[in-house]
Homo-oligomer: A and B are copies of this chain.
Amino acid sequence: MEWTRESRYKKYSEWDAETLLKLQAQATASKYQMSYHIRPQSGLLNDPNGFSYFNDEYHVFYQSYPFGAVHGLKSWVHLTSPDLVHWKNLGLAINADTKYDSHGAYSGSARVIDDKLFLMYTGNHRSKEWVRYPYQIGAIMDKDNNITKLDKPMIEPVDHITEHFRDPQLLKHRDEYFVILGAQDAETKTGKISLFRSKDLKNWQDLGYLDFTEEEMGYMVECPNLVFVDDQPVLIFCPQGLDKKVADYENIYPNMYIVGSDIRLDKAKFNTNQKALLNLDDGFDVYATQAFNAPNGKAYAISWIGLPDISYPTDSENWANCLSQVKELSIVDGELYQRPVPAMASLREEGTLVRSEEVFDGQQIVHSAASKHYELKLDLAAGQNGKLFLAANKDLSQGIEINFSTADDAFLTVDRSKAGIPFAEDYGTTRTIALPANKQLSLDIFVDGSVCEIFVNNGRHTLTLRFFAPDGNNKIAFTSDKKLQYTGTYWNMKNI
């Protein structure tokens, strides 16, 4: 169908239920579907929202448009989990049903306050003339997961910010609440992180913009997110239109981070010794990552696997995107690490040991017929060069190609140009990271339908990508000039 402004913003009550049931069946039946990642029941999923721990379980919500693979009228869908791996989809949680969120219940955060989960999000309202008004809205969830929106917006539009003013993260420091928001400055039309302060969650003081960089952050910053990792403040955000001289990135819009030395919210100051913004994920498809500090002292992050303004092959199946697995954050020797959470291991079926195979027909075969849903851990000895193929055909002319060296000029390149249906090729088909020279390389690779998450060297890097392989491309194999030395384990993964 042709998507018009009218059809995208049609109320859910104006869609018919048969259409929805068919869209749900279509999404579920897709051969590209994920089985251990959070995925849309139908239509489009984008940002994770309200990632939190409350009432003895983890909560996450996602931005949902259930009627197609387009950014239409957004709502929040709610999921809960005991372990950050097994998620229960509780369905529609925040619908666009008030004046203030009439054109979408956009992204936001959650925080436990007084035995309730306080949700704060952006209500998108448009006038008849289609002028956008962003309202920052509060809502309270009780222990039965009932959500009540506050009558009035917590923060109204402000003069010094354009209509691009969204994605509130509610923070607390001592006796005060703070909110950081993505913003576009009205005068300069540049990307900013807006900051507000309140003692009572009602009266909010505009503290201007957070001072976190001297560089210009393009024309907009989305999804600012502050989290403490091993006691250091880490600012995660998505600058749009960022000059590539400021920071290196290849995706249409990057999801970046800065590790801070200290933060003074009351002074609107985030200090850092980090020289440049860094990509949170070195792959192709991570955006809008949301992290929070859990009561167990750990920092957890979850990402949208998907990017704004990119068409994905499943658009033709009327669904798109998924969330990443949850990643535990830590700082080791000043570097941010992202690792799978321990409960991911509970998804493993019985493992198969992987060892250096004899070279046959130029290949060392790891698995001749892998499932579509697996984890593969590999340790590759130092001083080698080769290629690892995932989701490959017999002669390895198709597949995800992971080119690596563990010798002097150590690197790893993921090439998805021959992995299946092409998409997003304007933003390149390879991603490369540098590796420490002459060191063993450790890979922890998660494949789930059409998602691949690669954890490099125990979480020092992550590379995330979507791929859409032809049926039967299920070989895992190495090629190299000479026999490669490696060991590892392969597990089929259970559904969540």
Which residues of A does B touch, CB under 8 Å?
Answer: 11-22, 24-25, 28-29, 66-67, 78, 86, 88-93, 95, 144-145, 495
The answer to whether A13 and B19 touch across the interface, beta carbons within 8 angstroms, is: yes
The answer to whether A25 and B66 touch across the interface, beta carbons within 8 angstroms, is: no
A390 to chain B, nearest CB (A): 23
The answer to whether B66 and A21 touch across the interface, beta carbons within 8 angstroms, is: yes
Q: What are the residues of chain B within 8 A of A17 when measuring CB–CB?
A: 12-13, 15-17, 19-20, 66-67
Instruction: Pick 8 A–B contacts, CB within 8 A, sort by A.
Output: A17-B66, A21-B91, A25-B91, A28-B88, A28-B89, A28-B91, A29-B91, A88-B495
**Distance of A56 Cα from B91 Cα, bound (Å):** 31
Given A16-B12, A17-B12, A17-B17, verify A29-B66 contact (CB < 8 Å). Answer: no
Q: What are the residues of chain B within 8 A of A90 when measuring CB–CB?
A: 25, 28-29
Q: Which B residue sits closest to A67, measured CB to CB?
A: B17
The answer to whether A29 and B67 touch across the interface, beta carbons within 8 angstroms, is: no
A23 to chain B, nearest CB (A): 9
**Distance of A285 Cα from B11 Cα, bound (Å):** 40
Q: What are the residues of chain B within 8 A of A18 when measuring CB–CB?
A: 11-13, 15, 92, 95
Among B16, B22, B88, B92, the residue within 8 A (CB) of A21 is: B92
**Distance of A29 Cα from B78 Cα, bound (Å):** 11
Q: What are the residues of chain B within 8 A of A93 when measuring CB–CB?
A: 25
**Distance of A12 Cα from B92 Cα, bound (Å):** 19
State the 9 A-B residue pairs at the shortest beta-carbon distance, nearest first.
Answer: A25-B91, A12-B18, A15-B17, A13-B18, A17-B20, A21-B92, A13-B16, A24-B91, A25-B92
The answer to whether B29 and A145 touch across the interface, beta carbons within 8 angstroms, is: yes
Which among A13, A14, A16, A20 has the greatest number of chain B C-beta atoms within 10 A?
A20
A394 to chain B, nearest CB (A): 21
Given A86-B495, A91-B28, verify A14-B16 contact (CB < 8 Å). Answer: yes
Which among A29, A93, A95 has the greatest number of chain B C-beta atoms within 10 A?
A29
**Distance of A495 Cα from B87 Cα, bound (Å):** 10
Q: What are the residues of chain B within 8 A of A22 when measuring CB–CB?
A: 91-92
Q: What are the residues of chain B within 8 A of A92 when measuring CB–CB?
A: 18, 21-22, 24-25
Which among A16, A19, A93, A495 has the greatest number of chain B C-beta atoms within 10 A?
A16
Among B16, B66, B78, the residue within 8 A (CB) of A15 is: B16
Q: What are the residues of chain B within 8 A of A145 when measuring CB–CB?
A: 29
A25 to chain B, nearest CB (A): 3
Q: What are the residues of chain B within 8 A of A11 when measuring CB–CB?
A: 18
Q: What are the residues of chain B within 8 A of A95 when measuring CB–CB?
A: 18
Q: What are the residues of chain B within 8 A of A78 when measuring CB–CB?
A: 25
**Distance of A24 Cα from B28 Cα, bound (Å):** 16
A412 to chain B, nearest CB (A): 35
Q: What are the residues of chain B within 8 A of A19 when measuring CB–CB?
A: 13, 17
**Distance of A92 Cα from B22 Cα, bound (Å):** 7
A139 to chain B, nearest CB (A): 15
A449 to chain B, nearest CB (A): 13
**Distance of A355 Cα from B248 Cα, bound (Å):** 64
A344 to chain B, nearest CB (A): 15
**Distance of A35 Cα from B472 Cα, bound (Å):** 33
**Distance of A22 Cα from B12 Cα, bound (Å):** 11
Q: Which B residue sits closest to A91, measured CB to CB?
A: B25
**Distance of A88 Cα from B27 Cα, bound (Å):** 12
Q: What are the residues of chain B within 8 A of A24 when measuring CB–CB?
A: 91-92
Q: What are the residues of chain B within 8 A of A91 when measuring CB–CB?
A: 21-22, 24-25, 28-29
A471 to chain B, nearest CB (A): 11
A295 to chain B, nearest CB (A): 22
Beyond A29-B90, A29-B144, 20 extra complex contacts between A and B, CB < 8 Å? A11-B18, A12-B16, A12-B17, A12-B21, A13-B16, A13-B18, A14-B16, A16-B17, A17-B17, A17-B20, A17-B66, A20-B21, A21-B91, A25-B78, A25-B92, A28-B88, A28-B89, A28-B91, A86-B495, A88-B495
A388 to chain B, nearest CB (A): 28
A324 to chain B, nearest CB (A): 21
**Distance of A317 Cα from B282 Cα, bound (Å):** 46
Q: What are the residues of chain B within 8 A of A21 when measuring CB–CB?
A: 12, 20, 66, 91-92
A81 to chain B, nearest CB (A): 11
Q: What are the residues of chain B within 8 A of A20 when measuring CB–CB?
A: 17, 20-21
Which among A17, A29, A88 has the greatest number of chain B C-beta atoms within 10 A?
A17
A40 to chain B, nearest CB (A): 12
A82 to chain B, nearest CB (A): 10
A496 to chain B, nearest CB (A): 8
